[in-house]
Amino acid sequence: MEPADASYAGKAVSQMRRGVLEYCVLALLRNRRRYGVELVRELGAADALPTSEGTIYPLLSRLRRERLVDTSWQESSTGPPRRYYELTPAGRSSLEEFAEQWRRFRSAVDGFLSTEEER
């Protein structure tokens, strides 16, 4: 859900969430494949969804077009078959590259923020 506060900082954080969302999706697929509703549920539980649940599907569609994820069907004992998403080798290396850059970015920002706090 969109954060209620539309403050200046709130907007920046909202944009950042949007930017990293696809890597959160790729990270959720790192160890096993998942279906759409499952991905939405995990992201929602971690408060990682910047907007409504439905907006994840255009994102998944793009990841598939960019060959970062692959899909396959699997029957389920409860209800309809599920469309499962899984990482491709390209998706895996993209995720690893992002994880590395994110670590550096995060420590740099943390460095600035803690310096400012100490003043």
If you ran DSSP here, which 8-state letter would residue 1 be given? Answer: -
DSSP notation for 64-97:
HHTTSEEEEEE--SSSS-EEEEEE-HHHHHHHHH
Look at residue 48 and give its three-state secondary structure: coil
What are the contacts of 97-104 at 24+ separation with CB within 8 A?
A: 98/23, 98/26, 99/23, 99/27, 102/20, 102/23
58 makes contact with another protein (CB under 8 A): yes
Task: For Cα atoms 66, 25, 11, give the angle at the middle one, nearest 5 degrees.
Answer: 100
- Which span sits near another protein by CB under 8 A: 24-32, 46-54, 87-95, 111-119? 46-54
14 makes contact with another protein (CB under 8 A): no
Interface pattern 73-102 for another protein (x via CB under 8 A): ---x-xxx-xx-------------------
Sign of the dihedral defined by the CA atoms of residues 51, 57, 62, 66, in that order: positive
54 makes contact with another protein (CB under 8 A): yes
60 makes contact with another protein (CB under 8 A): yes
Near another protein by CB under 8 A: residue from 37, 90, 108, 109: 37
Comparison of 78 and 115: residue with beta carbon closer to another protein: 78
Comparison of 35 and 87: residue with beta carbon closer to another protein: 35
Residues in contact with another protein by CB under 8 A are 35-37, 40, 44, 51-55, 57-62, 76, 78-80, 82-83
